Amino acid sequence: MGRISGKTAIVTGGAMGMGAATVARFAAEGANVVIADVHAEAARALAEELGGNVVFLALDVADPAAWADVVKRTEKRFGGVDILVNNAGIADTGPFEEWSAARLQRVLDVNLFGVFHGIQAVTPVMKKAGGGAIVNVGSVGALQGFPMMSGYVASKWAVRGLTKTVALELGKHGIRLNAVHPGQIDTPMTSNVTFETDHVALGRMGQAAEIADIILFLAGDDARFVTGAEITGDGGQSAGQADYQGVPK
């Protein structure tokens, strides 16, 4: 029997990258999985490949009405929602002085409000069931600053704070909220980006499946006493300067 057999999960941004790896991991562990994404073709292909109880439902995470529809349809299909993985996200780069309010809002609509709407949409269903698990995918950018990524970093710091705060409110209902902060992960989003790994303790980029394993832990009963917490999957990137050669005096 799988670690989350019989449970139902919604994974946003589940068509590609870390989302797709999470969908596959959850399906292998016996869960019913809803791939909630705007990339219909990729999502349908993944659902067909995995088969079983994996389905695609179109979702723009910035639209609260769309969230309500996806949760309602998930309940009708599988009877409830036990797990939510808020993975959908976008990145944008550029000098801070070139950012407009509209450009910032676009990033916040997906990276922050997408998480906010998702938590609100599943909370009544999870309360009714007596509990549930929500995993928010943040970023190593929620732990430190990155030049040229002010909007993205701001959105991820906000998700970090939202996770901890709502965990305090929903714990009495048996609903756990935790965050995972990936570092440099090999995904379609980073395919055109060249990363230096000298400052990563493990000396390499991470794989999407490695983040999916962390998400599985936080979503399952092995983490039943874990809430308001965060796990950093960055190979040691945020721990310090791995390539430092100085000798303390």
Are 85 and 10 within 8 A, CB to CB?
yes
- Residue 12 exposure: Cα atoms within 13 Å on the Cβ side: 32
In order along its 249 residues, the chain shows pLDDT tens digits of 799 999 999 999 999 999 999 999 999 999 999 999 999 999 999 999 999 899 999 999 999 999 999 999 999 999 999 999 999 999 999 999 999 999 999 999 999 999 999 999 999 999 999 999 999 999 999 999 999 999 999 999 999 999 999 999 999 999 999 999 999 999 876 656 667 788 899 999 999 999 999 999 999 999 999 999 999 999 999 998 766 554 444
Task: Measure the CA–CA gap between 28 and 93, rounded to whole angstroms.
Answer: 36
User: What would the two tokens of residue 181 be?
Assistant: 């902060």
Number of Cβ within a 10 Å radius of residue 168? 11
Strand partners, 203: none
Helices (H) and strands (E) in the chain, counts: 7, 9
What tokens does 103 get?
Answer: 């450009």
Strand order in the sheet with 8-12: 54-58, 32-37, 8-12, 83-86, 132-137, 175-182, 230-233
| Residues designated as active site | 152
Cα gap 23→216, rounded to integer Å: 10
Cβ count within 10 A of residue 109: 17
Please state, in angstroms and rounded to a whole number, the distance separating the CA atoms of residues 110 and 100.
16
Residues in the chain, total: 249
For 228, phi then psi, to 5°, come to 70, 20
d(CA 78, CA 62): 24
In the chain, what is the straight-line distance between the N-terminal and C-terminal CA atoms, in Å? 55
Residue 222 identity (one-letter amino acid): D
Among 170, 215, 197, CA closest to 25: 215
